[in-house]
Each structure stands twice: as structure tokens, then as C-alpha cells.
């Protein structure tokens, strides 16, 4: 969770609190503070979850989805076919960044 606080000198402090980590930084504008907070929170949450940013293979995610979610769908056969065609496509990305 992030918070943005306006300081007496007119600058903004962005502060985060994620699993005991409390990074913070001062910025000249609120927009820059919000952008830093969002990016830092994303990177911290990704590393805590055990998936460093850019290392998750999309194929693995799709395979897990096929195993856990698709069987509970109303028409699993159709969805399974579509996902297999996507994975087999030459334009299918190999990683998520």
C-alpha cells in the first residue's frame, strides 16, 4: 500500500509498506511520486511472490489455467482448443514483462 504526502517545502514523499518493507522517496511533483510508488510496489510484490519481474513464462501460466480453471467452465473443450492454438502460434510471447 502506498501513500503520498505533501511536505512543507512543496515536495511530495511517496511511502510504501509491503511485508514489513518501508521504502520512501521525495519527488518534486505528485505525478512522479505516484509513478515511483506504483512501479516500486509492483517490483516488491513480484519479488515477494517468488516471481521476479520478467521471468514468468506465459506458457506455464496458460497451462496452469488449463488445469485449474478450464475444467470448471461450461464449455471446456472449446476453451482448451483456443488456448492450445494460441500457444502453438508463432506470434505467442514466451515471457511476461
Instruction: Chunk the chain into consecutive blocks of 10 residues (it has 97) and report each block's average pLDDT, rounded to whole numbers.
Output: 92 89 92 92 72 65 88 89 83 63
State the pLDDT at residue 77.
92
Whole-number Å distance between alpha carbons of 47 and 1: 16
> Does residue 79 contact residue 70 with C-beta atoms inside 8 Å?
yes
State the pLDDT at residue 32.
94
Q: What pTM was computed for the model?
A: 0.50
State the pLDDT at residue 7.
96
Residues contacting 73, CB < 8 A, separation 6+: 79
Ordered by start, the domain boundaries in the chain are 2-48, 58-88
Residue with cell 506470434: 91
The SS3 of residue 16 is strand
How many Cα atoms occupy the beta-carbon half-sphere of 6 within 13 Å? 5
Amino acid at each position: 500500500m502506498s501513500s503520498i504526502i505533501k511536505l512543507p517545502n512543496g515536495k511530495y514523499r511517496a511511502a510504501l509498506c509491503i511485508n514489513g518493507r518501508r521504502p520512501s522517496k521525495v519527488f518534486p511533483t505528485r505525478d512522479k511520486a505516484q509513478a515511483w510508488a506504483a512501479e516500486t510496489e509492483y517490483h516488491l510484490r513480484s519479488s515477494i511472490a517468488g516471481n521476479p519481474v520478467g521471468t514468468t513464462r506465459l506458457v506455464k501460466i496458460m497451462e496452469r489455467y488449463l488445469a485449474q480453471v478450464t475444467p470448471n467452465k461450461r464449455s471446456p473443450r472449446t476453451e482448451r482448443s483456443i488456448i492450445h492454438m494460441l500457444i502453438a502460434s508463432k506470434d505467442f510471447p514466451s515471457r511476461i514483462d
